[in-house]
Amino acid sequence: MRELERIAAEDTSLHPSASAEPLRVGVVGRGRAGRALAAALRRAGHRIDGPTGRGEQPAGDAILLCVPDSEIEIAAAAVAGRARFVGHVSGATPLSALDSAGAEAFGLHPLQAIAGDGTELRGCGCGIAGSTAAALELARRLATDLGMEPLEIADAQRAAYHAAASIASNFLIALEAAAESVAAGAGIEPDEARRLLGPLVRTTVENWLMAGPESALTGPVARGDERTVAAQRAAVAESAPEVLPLFDELVERTRALAGRRTMEAVA
C-alpha cells in the first residue's frame, strides 16, 4: 500500500487531490445517505449533480452510488462509461461489485447513523478503499473534505469492520428497545423510559469512550451481587420474557468482562 501511495504522489495525473479545485461528483440515490452526502459535499465546495433517482444519469469526475447493497451492481452497470471514478457507500460490499461500471472503484462509508439531510459527518470515522492509488486518494480527499477521519479498509476486512459498526450502533438500539420493554414492567411508558434512561446511556457511552470497557463497567454483575442479578432476571422473565435469552447472554458477557478487569487489576 505504501508503494501505491508513492506512485500516486509522484504522478499528479493520478492524484485527484493534487489540485484545490472542486470536484464534480454525481450522486445516485435519493435516500437518506444520498441526500445527506450530496448536501455535505455541496457545503464542502464540490459541484454536485443529484442526488438522482432510478433511470437518471448523473455526470461528474466521480459518481457516488448511495443505493442499497443489493442494488450496487445494477447501479454500477447503469453508469458505465460516465466517469473515471465510481464509488459506493456500503460498509460491507466489496469493490468488485463496481466492476460493471468499467471505472476506477472506490469506497466511502461514513461511520455515522444518517438520519436526514443535515446529519453531522464532521468528526466521525469513514471507511475508505480504492481499486487504484488514484481512487483511494479520491476517497481520502472526499472523506477529509467532509471533516471525517479516513480509515483504509481492505475487502477482506469489510465483514469484521461492518459487524463492529452494527454491534456499536444497530444492536445498541435493539438493546435500548429491550430496556424499554422491561421498564414497562415498572409501569414506565416508552417515551418516559427514553427520557429517564437517556442520560444514563449517554454517560455510559462517554465513560466507555474515555476509559474503555473494563473501567467503564458498573452494576450488580460487576460487583458480584448475584442476589440482585437473580431478582433482575425474575423481573425480566415476568415483564418481558422474550428478552430473557438476551439478558442471560449479556449477564455472561458482563461477568467475563468483569473477570478480565479483575485479572488486569491483579496483574
- Where are the CATH 1.10.1040 domain residues in the chain? 169-266
For 201, phi and psi rounded to 5 degrees? -65, -45
Entry pTM: 0.84
* Residue 202 buriedness (CB in 10 A; 0-12 / 13-18 / 19+): exposed
Q: Which of 78, 72, 60, 59 is nearest to 33 (CA)?
A: 72
Span 170-203, pLDDT tens digits? 999 999 999 999 999 999 999 999 999 999 999 9
User: What does the pLDDT read at residue 128?
Assistant: 98
Alpha-carbon distance of 114 to 255, in angstroms, equals: 33
DSSP letters along 84-148, please? Answer: SEEEE--SSS-GGGGGGG-SEEEEEEESS---STT---TT-EEEEEESSHHHHHHHHHHHHHTT-
pLDDT in tens, 53-74: 988 989 899 999 999 999 999 9
Backbone angle region of 35, left / alpha / beta, with phi > 0 → left and psi within -120 to 50 → alpha = alpha
Q: Which fold has domain 2-155?
A: Rossmann fold (3.40.50)
Report how far Cα 199 is from the mean position of its chain's Cα atoms: 23
Q: Among the CATH numbers 2.60.40, 1.10.1040, 1.25.40, 3.30.70, which is that of 169-266? A: 1.10.1040
In degrees, rounded to 5, the angle at the alpha carbon of residue 178 between the alpha carbons of residues 176 and 179 is: 60
Q: Provide the pLDDT confidence category of residue 261 given band limits of 50, 70 and 90.
A: low
Name the percent of the chain lying above pLDDT 90: 84
The CA-atom distances, in angstroms, between 110 and each of 56, 158, 215, 264 are 25, 13, 28, 34
Residues of the chain with CATH 3.40.50.720: 2-155
263 against 206, higher pLDDT = 206
Measured between alpha carbons, how far is 119 from 112 in angstroms, rounded to an integer?
9
User: Cα separations (Å) of 264 from 114, 201, 215, 261?
Assistant: 37, 25, 11, 5
